[in-house]
Amino acid sequence: MATSVRSAAAPRRLFPSIPPAIAGNVRGLGHFGARTGPRGFRGLSMVFADSTRRRAKEGDSVLGAPVLGGPGAELGDQLSVVMKFGGSSVSSAARMEEVAGLILTFPEERPVIVLSAMGKTTNNLLLAGEKAVGCGVIHVSEIEEWNIIKDLHIRTMDELGLPRSVIHCMLDELEQLLKGIAMMKELTLRTRDYLVSFGECMSTRIFAAYLNKIGIKARQYDAFDIGFITTDDFGNADILEATYPVVAKKLHGDWVQDPAIPVVTGFLGKGWKSGAVTTLGRGGSDLTATTIGKALGLREIQVYVWKDVDGVLTCDPNIYPHAKTVPHLTFEEATELAYFGAQVLHPQSMRPAREGEIPVRVKNSYNPKAPGTLITKQREMDKVVLTSIVLKSNVTMLDIVSTRMLGQFGFLARVFAIFEDLGISVDCVATSEELDNVVEELEKIAIVHLLQQRAIISLIGNVRRSSLILEKVRNTNHLINLQTFHVLRKSGVNVQMISQGASKVNMSLIVHDTEAKAIIESLHQAFFEDDVLTQVEAENWLVG
Ligand SMILES: Nc1ncnc2c1ncn2[C@@H]1O[C@H](COP(=O)(O)OP(=O)(O)O)[C@@H](O)[C@H]1O
Ligand SMILES: N[C@@H](CC(=O)OP(=O)(O)O)C(=O)O
């Protein structure tokens, strides 16, 4: 089991200080909540997460890269900014033109561009692969998603006025791969990663060719060829330390020798043992961008992450459309937000930024004038109570009550040992069979209730004030709690578990899936719209 207990505050220290029904979260172990009986600790609950286009003149130096035929940038110029564009930002020829225009609005910068696959290409590749397994070789050419991918990329090249030869070979190879999958009737994790890598490999080739066509010298790179070295965990690979110097050397070396804007595939790496293409988990291009930021290591470097929203918002706008932009976040808050399910950032993406102290700006490529969200090491937290509300749906909650009075430590150790023996991470159970095995083993030492279709609502907030939650919650004197419960009581909602994160940046509520959306709306209104929790109240609470 991934026992990456994130805090020294292991159960031994957490539980005694936590009143009944208040729980902890251990990174990598998911949520767990203490249950207490008349004689102290009895068991725990766990939760499972089943432009304007400008044409450059020869002789200009655009963004530090020479206009084709021009004199070249000065040696010694350094790459100064990383810009990542997500799938929606490069979903069509028109979007690519806009993105090129947007890059040109940063004339002082010498950017590295990181791209995701066009639009929904990654999903379509995955679906095409699944269909290929069962459709037979002769039917591969009829797979709907394969045809969508092919048409989108060919249309984009035609509309951008590029020769089809730019990715002709890749499309051929992709079709061959789908036929190979159909022939073998299997799609391994390794093959799946290779399959989805075509998305980023094609989008970057098209975009680099387009920049060159409009006169801005660009060079395409496949991340797995320039030193993105990862673990061999296909589908969710981790970037290894060796990546940073190798990537920096390659990008800087090429830039100094022959300046051209690097256009790098997001999301991809190369497994250090297998040598095969790996992927960094869905949304992994954010991580590619911050990794390059750290690799380049210049003090003034910034990473821009361009999305289809005005930055990180107070909640997912698809759940509640009145979400507001959060202007400033710390790396820690952004990490918690992503970890607890906000799709807007890859959960690992803040790690290189935090380590390298690289500021990250989340911006909207559809609305570049909006200031977006700035993510840095620190920010002024005095006035902050709650930052964002995050929803993780379709989770399963395990209620585990000790059958014997084994004592807190012995019981917990045995519970966690079962997970370790079965090699299962509390936070991520892939199949119901895995969960069945856990339940079978746990039932030998506990009464176990499996509660499905639950949702985790995480309230990401002020680290310092959250710390006080743990101390003050006993008196139920705490504003966030009062406020939250007031809202929940008004909504007639039954909260099944509350968990205070070990990081003390978040507090999570477990509720029924069907109630989650309405609760988020109420909480959002109370915390971000009604201004009920005024500064004065917050300050009174702090001193009180
Ligand atoms: N708190 C949040 N703030 C902003 N966007 C969010 C949040 N939670 C979920 N989202 C979703 O994340 C999407 C942007 O992330 P993503 O799709 O990965 O972007 P991209 O593909 O451009 O990198 C938004 O369109 C929005 O639906
Ligand atoms: N294309 C990959 C990687 C990625 O980062 O995508 P996006 O930036 O569109 O979330 C995915 O869909 O997961």
* pLDDT higher than threshold 70 for residue 509: yes
Ligand nearest to the CA of 343: 1
| ipTM of the complex, rounded to two decimals | 0.98
On whether the CB atoms of residues 106 and 63 are closer than 8 A, the answer is yes
* pLDDT higher than threshold 60 for residue 75: no
Q: Which CATH number fits domain 11-48+394-543: 3.40.50.2300, 3.20.20.20, 3.30.70.260, 3.40.50.10710?
A: 3.30.70.260
Residue from 89, 340, 343 to probe ligand 1 pocket by mutation (most atoms less than 8 Å from CB): 343
Residue 157 in tokens: 């090249």
pLDDT of residue 28: 31
Q: What is the CA radius of gyration of the chain?
A: 25
């020869």: which residue's tokens? 58
Residue 459 in tokens: 């309230």
What average pLDDT does the structure give for the chain? 80
**pLDDT above 70: percentage of residues in the chain:** 72
Protein residue with least CA distance to atom 19, ligand 1? 307
Sign of CA dihedral 318, 320, 321, 326: negative
Residue 199 CB–ligand 2 contact under 6 Å: yes
Task: Return the ligand 1 atom nearest residue 311 CA.
Answer: 4
Task: Return the ligand 2 atom nearest residue 88 CA.
Answer: 9
Distance 313 CA to ligand 1 centre (A): 9
Task: Return the ligand 2 atom nearest residue 284 CA.
Answer: 5
The residue extents of the domains of the chain are: 11-48+394-543, 61-376
pTM of the model: 0.82
Residue 234: phi and psi, rounded to 5, are: -60, 135
* pLDDT higher than threshold 80 for residue 408: no
Name the β-bridge partners of 386: 461
Ligand nearest to the CA of 223: 2
**Span 337-396, pLDDT tens digits:** 998 889 999 999 999 999 999 999 999 999 999 999 999 998 887 777 788 999 999 888
On whether the CB atoms of residues 29 and 416 are closer than 8 A, the answer is yes
pLDDT of residue 255: 93
Task: Give the side-chain half-sphere CA count within 13 A for 352.
Answer: 28
Sign of CA dihedral 312, 318, 320, 322: positive
Residue 95 to residue 325: CA distance in whole angstroms: 23
Residue 509 to residue 198: CA distance in whole angstroms: 39
User: Which CATH number is 61-376 given?
Assistant: 3.40.1160.10
Question: 158: helix, coil or strand?
Answer: helix
Distance 4 CA to ligand 1 centre (A): 27
pLDDT band at 508 (very low <50, low <70, confident <90, very high): confident
Query: Which residue has better confidence, 272 or 394?
Result: 272
pLDDT of residue 242: 96
Residue 116 CB–ligand 2 contact under 6 Å: yes
pLDDT band at 223 (very low <50, low <70, confident <90, very high): very high
Residue 36 to residue 21: CA distance in whole angstroms: 8
Longest alpha-carbon distance in the chain: 82
Distance 372 CA to ligand 2 centre (A): 20
Ligand nearest to the CA of 310: 1
Ligand 1 site residues, Cβ closer than 6 angstroms: 86-89, 116, 283, 307-309, 312-313, 315-318, 342-344, 388
> 11-48+394-543 and 61-376 share one CATH topology?
no
On whether the CB atoms of residues 513 and 393 are closer than 8 A, the answer is yes
Q: Which amino acid, one-letter code, is at 22? A: I
Distance 118 CA to ligand 2 centre (A): 9
User: With DSSP H G I counted as helix, E B as strand and the rest as coil, what are the percentages for the chain, rounded to 5?
Assistant: 40, 25, 35
**Span 122-154, pLDDT tens digits:** 999 999 999 999 999 999 999 999 999 999 999
Distance 168 CA to ligand 1 centre (A): 32
Least confident of 245-259, 414-428, 489-503: 489-503
**Span 434-467, pLDDT tens digits:** 778 888 888 888 888 888 888 988 888 775 565 5
Residue 87 CB–ligand 2 contact under 6 Å: yes
* pLDDT higher than threshold 60 for residue 269: yes
Task: Give the side-chain half-sphere CA count within 13 A for 159.
Answer: 14
Residue 25 to residue 507: CA distance in whole angstroms: 9
Task: Return the ligand 1 atom nearest residue 306 CA.
Answer: 22
Residue 267 CB–ligand 2 contact under 6 Å: yes
pLDDT of residue 451: 83
Task: Return the ligand 2 atom nearest residue 85 CA.
Answer: 8
- Listed ranges 81-85, 420-424, 429-433; the one with the highest mean pLDDT: 81-85
